[in-house]
Amino acid sequence: MKILAFLSLVVSAQIAFAAGHSAIDPVPREGGWKNRQDLLNKRASEGGKKAQLIFIGDSITEGWEGAGKEVWAENYAKYDAINLGIGGDRTQHVLWRLDNGNIDGLSPKAAVVMIGTNNSNGEDNTADQIAEGIRAIVQKLRTKLPETKILLCAIFPRGENVNPQRGKILQVNQIVHKLADGQNVLWVDFGHKFIDDGGHIPRDIMPDYLHLSKAGYQIWADSIRNPLARALGESSR
C-alpha cells in the first residue's frame, strides 16, 4: 500500500508539472536586461498616447535599433513607434514585461509581435509549449490593449541549412497561425523570403543565420507594409 501511495504521489506530481512550463511562466532576467527593461518602461511613459505603433520581441526586434535603424526611420518614425525588443528574451520574459511597465500608458493602433526563437533552442521547450507562450502573449495584449490590432509574425527561420530547429519553428508557426482572426489578430508569414532556392539562408540577409542585416530588415518592412497599413487604419499601399 505504501508503494502504491508513493507511486500515486509521483504520478500526481508529474501531472502537475506537465500542466505548467517555462514558456508560460512570467519571469524577469538579471544583469543588463534590467537596464534595458527600465529603458523600455521610460519609452512607454514618454511615448504615451502619441505612440501609434509598437514592436515586441527579442534581439531580432531590438535590432531595429542597429542594422535596421535606417529602415525603421524611413517606415516607422512617423508613427512615433516604440521598439520593445530585448535580446535573448523568450516568451516568459515578454509576459513578465507586459505586466511590469512596457505597455503602461500606451494605446497604440498596432503591435507587431515576433517572439519564440529563443525558446526553440535544444530541448528547452517543445513546439506546443512555445505556441502556448505566444498564445499567452497575444491574450495578454488583447486584454491590456483591447483597441490595438496585433500583427503576429511567424518566427523567422534560422541556421544556414535545413535543420531540426527550423522544423520545430515551422510547427510552432502552424499552431499559432490559428490565433489570427482576420480582425484583431493578423497573421503574417514571410519566412520563405529569407531562404534561397536551395534551402539556405544567405549571409547578406542574416549574417549569423539568425539576426538580420539591413537587407533583412527591409524584407521585414516590405512584407508587413499592407497588413500594417490595415491595422493602422490606412489604405493598403
Q: What is the pLDDT of residue 14?
A: 45
Query: What is the residue-wise DSSP string for 10-44?
Result: HHHHHHHHHH--GGGS-----THHHHHHHHHHHHH
Among residues 38, 128, 181, 208, the one annotated as catalytic is 208
Q: Residue 81 in contact with residue 27, Cβ under 8 Å? A: no
The Cα 169–Cα 120 span in angstroms is: 7
The Cα 91–Cα 71 span in angstroms is: 26
Those residues whose C-beta lies under 8 Å from the C-beta of residue 205, and which sit 6 or more positions away, are 194, 212, 213, 215, 216, 219
Those residues whose C-beta lies under 8 Å from the C-beta of residue 82, and which sit 6 or more positions away, are 40, 43, 44, 47, 51, 53, 54, 55, 106, 108
Question: What pLDDT digit, counting tens, does each position of 63-121 carry?
Answer: 999 999 999 999 999 999 999 999 999 999 999 999 999 999 999 999 999 999 999 99
Domain extents for the chain?
A: 35-231
Question: What pLDDT digit, counting tens, does each position of 113-159 carry?
Answer: 999 999 999 999 999 999 999 999 999 999 999 999 999 999 999 99
Question: What pLDDT digit, counting tens, does each position of 161-180 carry?
Answer: 999 999 999 999 999 999 99
Catalytic annotation present for 192? no
Among residues 21, 89, 93, 211, the one annotated as catalytic is 211
Of the pLDDT bands very low, low, confident and very high (cuts 50, 70, 90), residue 183 is very high
For the entire predicted model, the pTM comes to 0.91
Catalytic annotation present for 93? no
At residue 203, does pLDDT exceed 80?
yes
The CATH code belonging to domain 35-231 is: 3.40.50.1110
Of the pLDDT bands very low, low, confident and very high (cuts 50, 70, 90), residue 20 is confident
The Cα 199–Cα 47 span in angstroms is: 41
Mean pLDDT score of the chain, rounded to an integer? 92
Query: What is the residue-wise DSSP string for 188-229?
Result: E--GGGGS-TTSPPPTTT-TTSSS--HHHHHHHHHHHHHHHH
Among residues 22, 59, 107, 223, the one annotated as catalytic is 59
Residue 150, H or E segment: strand 149-153
